Amino acid sequence: MRLLLLASLRAQTGNATTAARIQSHLHAAGHICVLRDAFMYESPTEIANLTSTDKFDAALAIHLYKAGRLLQGSRIPFGIIFGGTDVNEDVKCEEKHRVMGAVLGEARFAVAFTVKMKELAAAEWPDARKKIYVQTQGIKTTPSETFDWYRFLQNADIPPDTASLHVFLLICGLRRVKDPLYLVEVFSDWHRRDPSVHLCIIGPAVDPLFTSEVKEKVKRAPGVHLLQEMPQDDLHAAMKRCFAVVNSSISEGMSAAILEAMDLDIPVLARNIPGNAAIINHKETGLLFSNPQEFVVLSRSLMNDPIMEREIVTRAKDYVKKHHSWESERKAYQNLVLRLQ
């Protein structure tokens, strides 16, 4: 089959890496899968022209509203993959809710990353329950062997000779829903008392206006550093060298960065929201915090208790192996697209 895959393809974002992974799965089964950035199109008519001109047999879309709306009334069959904002944010808007319901009604199948996400969607659109499948994200990490950690520290203006350096990485696209400023103030206060701790925020400028706000705040926050996005293999290598990976999002579908850290034997501290709590068992496979002050308390306990740290990363690695198999995800998508024939 010749398949169109619509998604937000901004480089080094979760959507883009998920799209590339699904493309790889489908190519391996002998299909042709063409990625297109949903933000390059404004209406279903444009996509209808594209699918007709380029002779696509079927389509997939990541995000029910952002990409799925472009497939409304499609002449070709399609499937949908839920994004976190679909069920956490967009359902609150009456017009988006209506559009998403219509798209879901036309889709041959829909994929939710978690049982919780499926249940939230089924509560909004009960008629679609039977066509929603649960398939967690598959994880495969590929750390670069040539990554230069000291160059990374220099780029972040972190003195590499700081005694017992503890670098925390917050990996996210710079937009409000990821809330990268949530911990900046408390972390900076902590750094003033303990210069060994540093927070690096890494990710693309998804929202230019908000990015300016982040840059201004970070400039005035000692111990907090803002770095541009980097290739995935370099990012995985940086994660392997850091002390912990942090997630401070207001809303998440399923954070690939959290799962990748678990796979790389790096502890995770994440904001206690449903998307994060779905993949982290507090003090078992990671640490969940409910406010910035609790983040610092939990971070210190992790720094001072190497046995707890070792137990958490061991259990987290086992969890990813069991529940986020890349091979299982590959088989699932290869089977699902057969429903589009």
Task: Supply the mean pLDDT for the chain.
Answer: 94
Are residues 333 and 278 located together in one domain of the fold? no
Residue 222: partners with Cβ closer than 8 Å, 6 or more residues away: 188, 191, 192
Are residues 330 and 219 located together in one domain of the fold? no
Are residues 212 and 278 located together in one domain of the fold? yes
Could you tell me what percent of the chain has a pLDDT over 70? Answer: 99
Are residues 97 and 199 located together in one domain of the fold? no
Are residues 123 and 218 located together in one domain of the fold? no
Could you tell me what percent of the chain has a pLDDT over 90? Answer: 84
Spatial separation of the C-alpha atoms in residues 120 and 123, rounded to whole Å: 5
Position 182 scores a pLDDT of 98
Tokens of 317: 């690695």
Task: Classify residue 295: in a domain, yes or no.
Answer: yes
The average pLDDT across 205-226 equals 95
Position 162 scores a pLDDT of 66
For residue 11, is pLDDT > 70?
Answer: no
Are residues 18 and 134 located together in one domain of the fold? yes
Identify the residue whose tokens are 């990976």. Answer: 245
Phi and psi at residue 325, in whole multiples of 5°? -65, 125
Are residues 257 and 168 located together in one domain of the fold? yes
Position 91 scores a pLDDT of 86
Residue 57: partners with Cβ closer than 8 Å, 6 or more residues away: 1, 2, 3, 76, 340, 341
Question: 163 pLDDT band (50/70/90 cuts)?
Answer: low
Write the pLDDT tens digit of every residue in 272-288: 998 899 899 999 999 99
* CA-to-CA dists, residue 37 to 66, 226, 304, angstroms: 10, 26, 45
Are residues 220 and 296 located together in one domain of the fold? yes
Are residues 301 and 333 located together in one domain of the fold? no
* CA-to-CA dists, residue 219 to 164, 188, 228, angstroms: 24, 11, 15
Identify the residue whose tokens are 């649960």. Answer: 134
The average pLDDT across 291-315 equals 97
Q: What is the rounded (10 degree) CA torsion for 180, 181, 182, 183?
A: 100
Question: 12 pLDDT band (50/70/90 cuts)?
Answer: low
Position 159 scores a pLDDT of 87
Containing structural domain, residue 25: 2-138+325-340
**Dihedral (CA of 99, 103, 104, 106) sign:** positive
